[in-house]
A and B are shown apart, each in its own frame.
Chain A
Amino acid sequence: MMNLQSQISKEEAYEWKSKVYSILAAYYHNQLWNPKDLEAVVKVLEDYNHLYQLKMEDAIEVIKSTNLRHEEDCKFDFNKLFIGPYKLLAPPYESTYLNHDKLLMRAETLSVRSFYEKANIQVDGKGQIPDDHIALELEFIAFLLHQLNQENELTAIKALLEEFLNEHLGKWIDEHLDLVNKQAKTDYCKAWAIIIRRIIHLDLNRMTIS
C-alpha cells in the first residue's frame, strides 16, 4: 500500500483527491448521467481505489455494469433520494441532519457559508441554494485540495480543509449515506453510497490530508 502511494508526489496526491472529490460533487450536482463521462469516471475511481486500497471494486463494478436500459430507473431512484418532487428520501443538506428543526438554511448552513467566505468562495446563487448542499460541500473540499497545489499558504488551507471535513461533512455524511443505503431501490445508487463513504472516510480516518 505504502509502495503505491510512494510512487506519486504529494502534489499528485492532492491533484487526484481534488479530482475525485470533484467527481463526487458532480454526482450530487446531477451531472453524471452521460455513459461516456461515467466510463471515464470509473477509470479514475478504479485507480484511486487501487492507490488507496479502498476495497470498493465491487461498487465500481456495479456502476460499470449499469447499462442504459437501467439508467432511467437509476435516475428516478436518484431523484427520489435527492431531487424531488416527493418528500426527499435522503435529503442532501447538512442542516436536515444536524439541526433539530430538520429545515434548510439553519445555523449549520450559515456556518458552512462562513467557511466558504474564509476561502473567498460563495455559492453561485447565494441565498437561494442552501450552502450546505452536499454537492457544494464536496466541491468546496475539491477546491481546497486544488488550492493546495496552487498556493503558498499551505498550512492555512490544510487547517481549513481539516476543520471543514471534521466539523461539517464528516458530521453528517454517515447518517446521510445510511439513509441512502436504506431508501435506495437501485444497486447503482447504493454503490455510489459505498464509494462516497470509502473516499470520505479515508480522509476522515487519517484526520489529515497528506
Chain B
Amino acid sequence: MKLKRRTFLKGAAATGALVGLGATQTEFPFQGLMKVDGSDQTTKKVFQNACPRNCYDTCSMLTTVEDGVIQFVEGNPQNTYTNGTICVKGNVYPRTVYSPDRIKYPMRQKGRGSGNWERISWDEAYTEIAENILKIKKEYGSTLPICLNKYSGNFEIMHYGIEGTMSSIGYTTRATGTPCWPAGIDAQTFDFGTILNSDPEKMQKSKYIILWGVNPAWTAVHSMNFIEAAKANGAKVVVIDPILTNTAGKAHDFIQIKSSTDGALALGMAKYILDNGLFDQQWLEKNSKGYREFFGYLDNNITLEWAAEKTGVSVDVIENLAREYATTKPANIWIGYGMQRHTNGGQNVRAIDALAAITGNVGLEGGGANYAQLDSWGFNYHAMIHPPPEGSEGEANRPVNMNNFAADVLAAEDPPIKMMWIAGRNPVQQDPETTLIKKAFHAMDFVVTADLFMNKTVELSDIVLPVTTPFETPGVNVSYWHYWMTLNEQAIKPLHESKSDVEIAMGLSEKMNELEPGSCTYPTSGDLNEWVGKEFNETILEQFGMNTWEEIKDGPVKMKNMEVAWKDGKFRTPSEKYEFYSEEAEQFGHHPLPVYVEEMKSTEDHPYRCITPHWKLSIHSQFQDLDWMEAINDKPYVEIHPELAARHHIKADDLVKVYNEIGYVTVPAKLTRTVQVEEVVIYETWYKNLNYNVNYTVKAIPADMGEKATGMPGIAFHDNFVNLEKV
C-alpha cells in the first residue's frame, strides 16, 4: 500500500494556521512557547505582603520568592503586634496560590447551575458583561437593576476598585451593611461617637482583663501574647462566654453566661458598683452626659437577683466580678463580635461600655471597652471613587440590605434587580436562609462572580472571572484592631489569566467605552504600583509619621498616638462627651440609655439555641477547603452537652439532625461539657467534598443596631433556635 502523502499535506494545509500543519515550514508555529536569547539569572527576593482577610490580626508577612515562585511565607518581625509569626491559615497560603484547582480563566456557564462551563477570553467576558450592562441601561433607563454584593473576602484598599467599577457605570444597587459587627459599632457610636480601641499591644499594661464574648485563641491569635504578658505582670484574666472556648481555657476565671444576656450581667455589675460607691464620680462629671439618668435606671430597674436569674450567673459571682473589676485599675474589657450578634446585641454592648465608663477605665492605659477601630483607614479610596457617566439617570445608589439580601433582591421594584456582580463574597454559602438565596440567584438575568475557587456562589453564576491572590497584585492594608499599616508588594506574576479587581475595572471600562463611548468613567490604564501611592493623603501620612508614602516600602509602620483610646477625653458624640444618655440612639428607635432589652427566647418547637461561631481553620468559606486544612479536620460536628444528648438518646458520633422551620443540617454529635445544656454549637465552615452548610438553618433576623453607622442592622446569627433528632 502506498502512503497517501498528498492527503497528509492537503489535510495539513487546511489546519495550517492552527497548528502549523502546512507544507514544510522553516519557522516553527509557536502556540504557547516562544524563542528567547539566553536565560534569566536565578533570583531570590523577599517581598512584603499584607494579609487582606477579614481578621483582627491582618498579619505583616514576608514572602520569599525564587525564580518567580513563592518558596514560603512567614511573619514580618517589624510588626510588633504580629511579631514575626502568621497563623495556621497564613501558613497554607502557598497552597492557595499554587492550587491546581484555582479558577484559571474567565468562563461562561451554559445554563446557570448546570455545571457546563466553557472557557472564554477576557475580551469575550468583557464584551458579554458590557453588553448586558448596556442592555439593562437601555431597557430600564438606568443601571439600578445592577446589584453589587462585595464585602469581606478581601479588605485590601485597592480592592475597593470593585465598588469603583460600579460607580463608574452609573447609579447601581448595592448590598449595604455588614453582617458581622454593626450592632456593636452603633452601640459604641452612640456612647463614644465612633468605634476606637486602644492599641491591643497595650493590653499587657492591664491588671484586669475581661474577654467578653471573644475567642482570640482562634480568631486573633497574636493578641494572646499580650494577654499572656499581662498575666505574667500579675493581671487577672476573666472570660465571659456561653462556650468554654480555648481562650477561656487560658483564663483564670470563666463565667458561662446564657447567650444574649450579657447586658443583664453588665447592668447587674453596674448596680453593684453604684450601690457600693465604686464608681469614678470625677470622671463621670468631667467626661460624661446622662450618668445620673443611667444611675436612676439602675436604681429603679436592676437588682442583682434579676441579673443572676437572667444570666445564669450567681449573685455572688456577679458581686465578686463587679468588685474586682471596679477596684483593679487599669481594667480592660475586650468586647467580641460574637456577643453582639443578637436582637439585643447593641444594647448589651452599650451596657458593657457603661461599665468601663463608670469605673473611669475609659481613656486609661491598659483599660477601655475595646471593640474595634477604623481610624487607621483614612486612605483616599482612589481605586473606588469615580463619578457616574454624564447624564446618568437617578441621584444615588440604591441600597439593599446585605443582611436580608435574598429577600430584598427579590422584592426590589422600579426597577427590579436583573444583574448581580459578586466579589469577595460567597453569599450562597455564607448568607442566612440558603434556600431563599438560591431563589434570588435564579431570578437574575445575569450573574458575574469574581473569585479564586469554585464555590456555591460561582455554581450559580453565568460568568466567573479569575482573580489574583494577595501575592499577585500590589496594594496596602491596615487592621480594624491593631494600628499597623503594611505594603502589599506584587511578589509574583498573576497565575494563569487571573486579574486584580482594578485591572478588571479597567478592562471593562475600555470595552464599555468601545461599545458606547462615554458609558464608563473608570480609567482604562494605569500603573498599579503608582495607584497604591494615590491612596495616600497628607493626613494619613502624618498619622503614621511618614514623609512620603514610599517610606512604607521599608516595612510596616504604626499609627502614632493610638496607645490609649479616648485619652484626650474628646468624644465624637454630639455632646463631645461620653453619652450614657444618647439622643441619637433615641432617633434610631432605641432607648436613649443602655437599658436591658429582652433577649430572644426559644420556642416549644425549637427549644435550643444554636450558636454558629467562627472556626479556627477558616475565615468564613476561605481556607478550610484546602487539603492541609482538611487533613486536620474534614467534617463538621455539633457540640452537645451530655445531658441534652441523653434527653434525645444521642451518643457520641451519632448523626444528629439539627432543624428548624427553614431547614436542617445533619452532623455527627460531639459531646462536651464545655457548652451549656440548652445551647448547641456548630462552627460555620464548609468542606470541599461535603454538601454541608449550617446556614440552611440560620434565619436573617436583624440585630437591634447597625443602621446608623453601617446603613443596615447586623444579623442576629446567634438567635437561631432549633430542635434535635437522632438520625
Contacts and interface: CB of A to CB of B under 8 A. Distances in A.
Determine direct contact between A and B, CB below 8 Å: yes
Interface of A: 4, 7-8, 15-16, 18-19, 22-23, 25-26, 29-32, 34, 36-37, 39-44, 47, 50-51, 72, 75-76, 79-80, 83-88, 91, 93, 96, 102-106, 109-110, 113-114, 116-117, 120-129, 133, 135-136, 139-140, 142-143, 146-147, 149-150
Contact of A123 (B10, B19, B32, B104): B32
B631 interface: no
B100 interface: yes
Contacts of A121: 33-36
Interface stretch (B227-235, B489-497, B508-516, B678-686): B489-497
B95 interface: yes
Contacts of B691: none
Nearest to A116: B33
A-B residue pairs, 4 tightest by C-beta: A43-B11, A40-B14, A117-B39, A127-B68
Interface in B391-409: none
Nearest to B495: A128
B117 interface: yes
A103 B102 CA distance: 11
A140 B33 contact: yes
A147 B25 CA distance: 11
A44 B26 CA distance: 20
B28 A47 contact: no
Given A91-B100, A102-B627, A105-B98, A72 B19 contact: no
A4 B8 CA distance: 15
B633 interface: no
Interface string B12-36: 1111001111001010111111111
Given A25-B19, A26-B31, A103-B95, A83 B12 contact: no
Contacts of B68: 126-127
A125 to B, nearest CB: 8
A149 B28 CA distance: 11
23 contacts: A22-B20, A23-B19, A26-B19, A26-B31, A30-B119, A37-B14, A40-B14, A40-B15, A43-B11, A47-B8, A80-B115, A84-B101, A84-B107, A85-B454, A91-B100, A103-B95, A120-B35, A121-B33, A121-B34, A127-B493, A140-B33, A143-B30, A146-B28
Interface in B71-110: 94-95, 98-105, 107, 110
Given A22-B29, A84-B105, A105-B69, 8 more contacts: A25-B31, A41-B11, A83-B117, A121-B33, A123-B33, A125-B32, A127-B69, A149-B24
A124 B493 CA distance: 13
B465 to A, nearest CB: 10
A40 B12 contact: yes
Contacts of B117: 76, 79-80, 83-86
A129 B24 CA distance: 29
B409 to A, nearest CB: 24
Interface of B: 1-5, 7-8, 10-15, 18-21, 24, 26, 28-39, 67-70, 94-95, 98-105, 107, 110, 115-119, 454, 458, 464, 492-497, 627, 688
Given A84-B117, A122-B36, A93 B100 contact: yes
B33 A50 contact: no
A138 B1 CA distance: 30
A15 B24 contact: yes
B8 A76 contact: no
Contact of A136 (B32, B115, B497): B32
Contacts of A42: 11
B26 to A, nearest CB: 6
Nearest to A8: B3
A30 B107 CA distance: 13
A69 to B, nearest CB: 14
Given A19-B21, A103-B99, A135 B458 contact: no
Nearest to A31: B18
A123 B10 CA distance: 30
Given A44-B11, A79-B119, A85 B107 contact: yes
A51 B3 contact: yes
Nearest to B26: A150
